[in-house]
Every structure is written in C-alpha cells, then in structure tokens.
Structure 1
Amino acid sequence: MQGVYIVLVALVAAASASELKEVTNSSVRIYGDKIKALLEEFKKNMNKPQYGLPALDPLEITHLDLNINEQIATVKGALDDFKMLKLSTFVVESVDLDVFGLKLTFNISLASLDISGAYDIDGTIQGDLLHIYGKGPFDVKLGDLWASGVILIGSNHSFIYLKQIDLDYHLGLFKTDIAGLMGGGELSDVLNQVIDEFILTAAEKYKPEVAGVISDLIISVANKLLDGVTLGDILGLINGKTTAAAV
C-alpha cells in the first residue's frame, strides 16, 4: 500500500510540474507578445521624446567629442551636425520575458541605417599600422543588421537594474563616403574602401570586444532610466496599467 501512495504522489507531482511549466510558458508567450506590441508603439513615436529619451528618428546631435582608445583604434576629434535616420525601421523578430528568472531574450533586425554629419579626427588604426586624419562631411550607410541576446535583470530592495547583457550581432554592409580624409583626392577614395573592409572584418574578428562595449553602453544608459523603477512598474507598463511618464 505504501508503494501505491508513493506512485500517486509522484504522479501528482509530475502533473503539477507539467502544469506549472505550461503556465510559465504561456506567461512567457503573453509577456513576449505584449512587449512586442509595446515596442511597436515605441517605434511609431521615435520622432519625439519618450521614456526619458530624446527623439531617436531622426537622431540629431549638434556636437559630439570623440575619444576612442581601444585595441583596434585610437581616435580623437569631434563630430558635428550628426544625424542618424531609419532607426525606427527595426523589426522585432522575437522577444520573451522570464519573470521568474528575471531574464529577457530578444532578436531584432534592421535593414538599413543612414548616418551623416561633419568630422574632424586624428588617430591610428591597429596600433601604428595606419595613421588616419581628416576634416569634412561624411556619409555612412549600414545594412543587414541584426542583434540577439539575453538581458539579465537584477534587483535591489525591489528596484530593478540591468545586470548583464550577453549580446550577439551581425553587420552585413558598411559603406562610407568620408570627404577630405587624409587630405582628400584618390587617397581618400582608397581609404574609404579600406575602412569599409576593415570595419566589416573587425566587427567579426573583435566581436566579443565590440559587443562588450555596446552592452556596457546600453547598461549605463538603461540603468539611469531605471533608477527608482520596480519590476511591478515595468509589468504595469507592459500590461498597459502604467504610463511611460509614471515609469
């Protein structure tokens, strides 16, 4: 008889675990759909400030100081009249939120991105392999972009923050038209081609380093926006019970 009880308990436990798993998976799907809908609404309003962010499409920056000191390049200078277009054309391929594990998985793509402005730089690429300098207008086109990964969310006295981002990405097109590079002329044209090939190669070769820099930047910006925000606030926003201004 004791054996029968044990079997019954095991069956109940298995059924409960299966039911809990199904409920959890259903909740993940529901939250994923709601987050996707929220992002679609976010895309529609990227031409104006929202969620504590400036207008993102177009993204315009009057002046931006450059001070890059990485393994692949050391560059100092400035960008003026920076303008980025088409950021709002990103596509959310998939997004899921694990509320119990405090984990968000995502996969997004972007067909193209246009950047323009004026530059004034001086620096080196790959150590002392290439000294690069110049001043003038520039246009950059990026294409066939996607990014996927996992965002781990931490909590501190009920307030949440981004703890870690495991990021993967792909860049299929990088095309520059940088006038006045190395004094302009044919050398400038050749260097534009070299930069195009170098960026695409470096994006793959140094993917962990680049992904780390991007992740750290996202975490820094996001955690400033999340200061004083609870998981309940975020879930309320996802469920339409909290406004962006409240968060």
Structure 2
Amino acid sequence: MKSLSLVVILLALGIVQANKVPEIYAGQSRSASSIIVDALEAIKVQMVEGWPQYGIPPLAPLEIHHKDFNYETGEMHANGALDDVIVSGLNEFEIVKMSVNLPLSRITMEFNFASLNLTTKYKADVGAGWQMARDGGAFLALEDLNISGQIRYSTGLVGSNNYLRIKGIQLQIVVGNVVSNIENLSKYRIVNRKLNEIIEEFINLTINDNVDFVTEWIDSTVTPACNNLIGDRTLKDIIDLIGGGGGNLI
C-alpha cells in the first residue's frame, strides 16, 4: 500500500507542477491533460525499474517474497502465508480519460486494465468449526478492470498553509471478470473447481456490489497515507525531489 500510495503522489504531483508554473502552457498548443498523459506513459515504462530514490521497488511486475495473512469472520478463519507473490499488469493500463481542471485543482480520470493477475504459493490453515491445512500454487486475475474518478489537491500557493496536500481521492472500481485457480482447496478436482467458482463470484460481488464502500475506503486510507508521506513539504520541495534535487519521501 505504501508503494502504491507513493505512485499516486507521483501522478498527482506531475499535475500540480503544471499548476505551479501555468505560464509554461501559454506558448504551447498541448493541454495540461495531454502533458499528464505523456507523463503517465513515461511512468508506465519506469514501473519496470521502480523509483529506488524514493524506496519504491519495481512494480511491473511487483514481487513480494513473503506475506502472512490472518482472516477471521464469525466462525470462519484462514491463517497462513503467501510466498513468491508476483503481481503482473500494473503498468498495462489504457488511459481512457484524463481531464485536468487547473483552476479547481481537480483531476478527472479513467483507466482500464485488461488483466491484473497474481501468482503465488500459499499455505493456509482454514476452518469453521473444523480445521484443515492446505497448500499449493494459486492464480488470481481481475479482467477488464475499470478505475475512474477524481483526485482533488491543494498546491498551498494560496492561503496560510504552504504545504502540498491531497484533498481527496474518489475512485470507482468495477471488474468485468474474475478468474481463480487455487490448487488443493479440495482433494477432489470437481469440488476444487466449484470452490474456485465460489471465490470468483465472491470477489466479483464484493467489488461490483460495494462500489460506494470501496470508494470511501480508498479515500479514507490512501488520502491520509499520501499526505503523511508528503509531510511538511511545500510544492517546491516535491518538485525538487522529483527533479532529482535530493532528499527522500520516506
């Protein structure tokens, strides 16, 4: 989450940098929106190497060697670990819409991912009044994933507060199809396939039937994370960091 939050900051700051020096656009035919699209295309390429100067690892693909998990709801529980996690497709998105309103400090956008997919090896202890251990390989994909919404920001150039702030991130997420292939949920292949179908339907309904909840969760989680990472930095400080002026966001 921290790395992804930093990416959000980098995207937003590319735009607010334009707001800092609007005279740049006076002699150009390109709009701020097209400049940001170019910046996003460059970021998609850079995601292969990451941003080591900011502590951001490569994101295309994103690799996590080990991650413990602990999920409990009522009597149901699932405890275990994921190893050799690989998330692919984070940089393979289409920019459907990008509109920048400089006077209102607002970015309206829409992205579409053909497929975000995860492969991993898992070990889990699951149960609901009973207990069993499972392990094996796993594959999960979100296909035709659409993300749209707005980012509102304040450059701190007007008023007493000179710090850059992300004022709000309102994103709506809709998934077209979910593919789950988790091994060894059952020793019977037909039951294993049925359990994967249940997981697919659960994820699909969780995302598509709870759009407002997901939107509120993203805003309440990512917005403060971005601002915490920005800290007491002005717009000039951030521009210097992006431009290689030294320092670190972490």
For normalisation by structure 1, the TM-score amounts to: 0.71
Q: 1:135-150, aligned counterparts within 5 Å?
A: 135-150=135-150
Shift of 1:197: 1.6
Query: Is the 2:65–2:83 Cα contact (8 Å) retained in structure 1?
Result: yes
Kindly indicate whether residue 57 of structure 2 is the aligned counterpart of residue 54 of structure 1. Answer: yes
Shift of 1:190: 1.0
Cα-to-partner distance string for 1:61-98 (whole Å, 9 max, x where unaligned)? 01112244689x96443211100112111111222333
Q: After alignment, is 83-92 or 158-167 more displaced?
A: 158-167
Query: C-alpha distance in 2, partners of 1:132/1:210?
Result: 31
Shift of 1:184: 5.6
Query: Is the 1:109–1:147 Cα contact (8 Å) retained in structure 2?
Result: yes
Q: Label 1:181 to 1:64 Cα distance change in 2 as closer, same or farther (>3 A).
A: same
Q: 1:81-92, aligned counterparts within 5 Å?
A: 81-92=84-95
Structure 2: gaps spanning 5 or more residues: 1-21
Q: Label 1:92 to 1:57 Cα distance change in 2 as closer, same or farther (>3 A).
A: same
Query: Is the 2:172–2:214 Cα contact (8 Å) retained in structure 1?
Result: no
Query: Is the 1:134–1:183 Cα contact (8 Å) retained in structure 2?
Result: no
Query: C-alpha distance in 2, partners of 1:192/1:146?
Result: 23
DSSP-derived class of the 1:222 partner? helix
Q: Which of structures 1 and 2 has the bigger CA Rg?
A: 1
Shift of 1:217: 4.2
Amino acid in the other structure paired with 1:144 = D
Percent pairwise identity:
26
Query: Is the 2:169–2:218 Cα contact (8 Å) retained in structure 1?
Result: no
Q: Label 1:140 to 1:230 Cα distance change in 2 as closer, same or farther (>3 A).
A: same
* Alignment match, 1:159: 163
Counterpart selection for 1:208 from 212, 229, 232: 212
* Alignment match, 2:99: 96
Q: Label 1:245 to 1:62 Cα distance change in 2 as closer, same or farther (>3 A).
A: farther
Query: Is the 1:133–1:182 Cα contact (8 Å) retained in structure 2?
Result: no
Query: C-alpha distance in 1, partners of 2:245/2:116?
Result: 29
Q: Label 1:183 to 1:231 Cα distance change in 2 as closer, same or farther (>3 A).
A: farther
Q: Label 1:104 to 1:76 Cα distance change in 2 as closer, same or farther (>3 A).
A: farther
Query: C-alpha distance in 2, partners of 1:97/1:203?
Result: 27
DSSP-derived class of the 1:47 partner? coil
Segments ≥4 residues shifted beyond 6 Å: none
* Alignment match, 1:3: none
Kindly indicate whether residue 231 of structure 2 is the aligned counterpart of residue 230 of structure 1. Answer: no
Query: Is the 2:110–2:149 Cα contact (8 Å) retained in structure 1?
Result: yes
* Alignment match, 1:115: 118
Amino acid in the other structure paired with 2:143 = G
Shift of 1:123: 5.5
Shift of 1:177: 0.6
Structure 1: gaps spanning 5 or more residues: 1-22
Q: Label 1:211 to 1:182 Cα distance change in 2 as closer, same or farther (>3 A).
A: farther
DSSP-derived class of the 2:49 partner? coil
Q: After alignment, is 161-170 or 95-104 more displaced?
A: 95-104
Query: Is the 2:173–2:214 Cα contact (8 Å) retained in structure 1?
Result: no
Query: C-alpha distance in 1, partners of 2:100/2:148?
Result: 14
Amino acid in the other structure paired with 2:114 = A
Shift of 1:107: 0.8
Query: Is the 1:119–1:138 Cα contact (8 Å) retained in structure 2?
Result: yes
Query: C-alpha distance in 2, partners of 1:70/1:93?
Result: 38
CA RMSD, 1 decimal: 3.5
Query: C-alpha distance in 2, partners of 1:92/1:244?
Result: 27
Shift of 1:245: 6.1
Query: C-alpha distance in 2, partners of 1:31/1:88?
Result: 22
